C-alpha cells in the first residue's frame, strides 16, 4: 500500500535562480606588479601558450626558461615603470579595461538582467575567476567580448580556448556566445577617424603622413591561414577611404616583433627610421589594432619609436591615444554587445 505524503509536510523544491546574462570583456593581460618578479610570472604564462608560440618543444622550453625568463623580466619591468599607474598600482591596460566595463554597466543599466565584468587572458583578473563570479550571480548565459578589433589565433582564439577550458570543468555550463572581430564595422571606422581628426586638430604641427601601426605576427602564422594580416589591411583601407588619404599618406606597419623569425612587414621601427632619414620631419602614429592603451602603445610607440624618429633626424612625433573608454570607444563596444545579445534580452 502506497503512502501519501500530506501536502503540508512535502519538502518544497529549490527555487531556480533568476536567469541573468553575463557580459565578459577580455583583453590580453598585464603583470600584477611592475618588477622583475611580476613580469616573469606574466611572461611565463604568455609565452607558454601554444597559440602565441606555436612550437612549444624542448628547444623553446630551454630558451624560455634558460634565457628569456632570466633576462627579459628586468628589462620589461623598467618599461612598465615608465607607464605604470602609480596611484592604482596597476598597468594602464587594467585601469582602462575596468573603466570600459564600468561604463558599459552604466550604459546598459536599464537592462536589469545583464551583469558586466572584465578579465585578462594572462594575469589577473583571470577568465576563470570572472566566469565563476558571473555564474555565482545567476548568469546562465555568457557573452564573451574579446577586445581585439582584428581576429588572430594568438588573441581572439586563445581567449576562446581559455573560456572553453573553464566551461569544460563546470557541471552547469552557461550558454555561450562570442563577439566577432569588428575590424571594418562602420561605428569602429568612424570612431577611429574621429579620434584621428580630433588629435590632428589639437597638434601644433601638421604631420606629413600618418602611420597605422598594428601588433606584429610571425609571417608563418599567416601562411598557415591566420586572417589577421588581411583584416589589418581591410581596417587601413577603410580608414584611408574615410579620411581621404592614399597609401603614401596613411602607411600600414607592424610593431612588437619578437625572436629571429620573419614577421609581418613593413616593421614600424624600421619604417620610422627610414622616413626620418629620407627627410620626413613630422609624423603621427595611430594604433588601430588596440582597443586600450598599453605597453605597446604608451612605451613602444609613444616613447621608443618617437626616440628612433628624432635620433634619425625627425622633429615632430605624436602618438594618437587608443579609443579606450572614450565616448566613441564605448559606443563601439556597446553597439557590438547589444547586437550580439539580440534574442537574449
Q: Residue 222 has which C-alpha cell?
A: 599567416
Exposure string over 59-71, b if 16+ CB within 10 A, otherwise e: ebeeebeeebbee
CA-based torsion, 328, 25, 320, 283: positive or negative:
negative
**Beta strands 139-146 and 20-30, pairing class:** parallel
What cell does 173 get?
Answer: 555550463
Residue pair 264/219 in contact (Cβ under 8 Å)? The answer is: yes
Could you tell me the end-to-end alpha-carbon distance of the chain, in angstroms, rounded to an integer? Answer: 50
Q: Which residues pair with residue 282 across a beta bridge?
A: 316
Is 311 annotated in a binding site? The answer is: no
Residue 296 annotated as binding?
A: yes
Cell 558571473 found at: 134
Round to whole Å and give the CA distance between 133 and 178.
18
Q: Grid coordinates in use for 333?
A: 563596444
Residue 179 · residue 340 · CB < 8 Å: yes
Q: Which contiguous run of DSSP H or E holds residue 136?
A: helix 127-136
Examine residue 155 and say whether the peptide bond preceding it is cis (omega within 30 degrees of 0).
Answer: no
Radius of gyration of the chain (CA): 23
Report d(CA 159, CA 149) in Å as an integer: 14
The rounded distance, in Å, linking the Cα atoms of 101 and 130 is 12
The sheet with strand 316-319 has its strands ordered as 250-255, 209-215, 282-286, 316-319
Extract the annotated binding site: 215, 296
Extract the annotated binding site for Fe(2+): 215, 296
Amino acid at each position: 500500500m502506497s503512502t501519501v505524503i500530506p501536502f503540508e509536510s512535502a519538502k518544497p523544491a529549490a527555487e531556480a535562480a533568476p536567469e541573468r546574462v553575463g557580459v565578459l570583456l577580455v583583453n590580453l593581460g598585464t603583470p600584477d606588479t611592475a618588477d622583475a618578479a611580476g613580469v616573469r610570472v606574466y611572461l611565463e604564462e604568455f609565452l607558454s601558450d601554444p597559440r602565441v608560440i606555436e612550437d612549444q618543444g624542448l628547444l623553446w622550453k630551454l630558451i624560455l626558461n634558460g634565457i628569456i625568463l632570466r633576462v627579459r623580466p628586468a628589462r620589461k619591468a623598467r618599461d612598465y615603470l615608465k607607464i605604470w599607474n602609480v596611484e592604482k598600482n596597476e598597468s594602464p591596460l587594467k585601469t582602462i579595461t575596468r573603466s570600459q566595463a564600468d561604463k558599459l554597466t552604466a550604459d546598459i543599466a536599464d537592462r536589469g538582467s545583464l551583469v558586466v565584468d572584465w578579465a585578462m587572458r594572462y594575469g589577473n583578473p583571470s577568465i576563470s575567476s570572472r566566469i565563476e563570479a558571473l555564474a555565482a550571480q545567476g548568469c546562465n548565459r555568457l557573452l564573451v567580448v574579446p577586445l581585439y578589433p582584428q581576429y588572430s589565433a594568438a588573441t581572439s582564439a586563445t581567449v576562446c580556448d581559455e573560456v572553453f577550458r573553464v566551461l569544460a570543468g563546470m557541471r552547469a555550463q552557461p550558454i555561450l556566445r562570442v563577439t566577432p572581430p569588428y575590424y571594418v564595422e562602420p561605428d569602429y571606422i568612424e570612431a577611429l577617424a574621429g579620434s584621428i581628426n580630433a588629435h590632428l586638430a589639437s597638434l601644433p604641427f601638421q604631420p606629413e603622413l600618418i602611420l597605422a601601426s598594428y601588433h606584429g605576427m610571425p609571417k608563418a602564422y599567416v601562411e598557415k591561414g591566420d586572417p589577421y594580416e588581411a583584416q589589418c589591411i581591410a581596417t587601413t583601407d577603410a580608414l584611408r577611404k574615410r579620411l581621404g588619404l592614399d597609401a603614401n599618406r596613411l602607411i600600414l606597419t607592424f610593431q612588437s616583433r619578437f625572436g629571429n623569425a620573419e614577421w609581418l612587414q613593413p616593421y614600424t621601427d624600421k619604417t620610422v627610421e627610414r622616413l626620418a632619414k629620407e627627410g620626413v620631419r613630422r609624423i603621427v602614429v595611430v594604433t588601430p589594432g588596440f582597443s586600450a592603451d598599453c605597453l605597446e602603445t604608451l612605451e613602444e610607440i609613444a616613447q621608443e619609436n618617437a626616440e628612433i624618429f628624432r635620433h634619425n633626424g625627425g622633429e615632430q612625433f605624436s602618438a594618437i591615444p587608443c579609443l579606450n573608454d572614450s565616448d566613441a570607444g564605448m559606443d563601439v563596444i556597446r553597439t557590438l554587445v547589444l547586437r550580439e545579445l539580440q534574442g537574449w534580452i
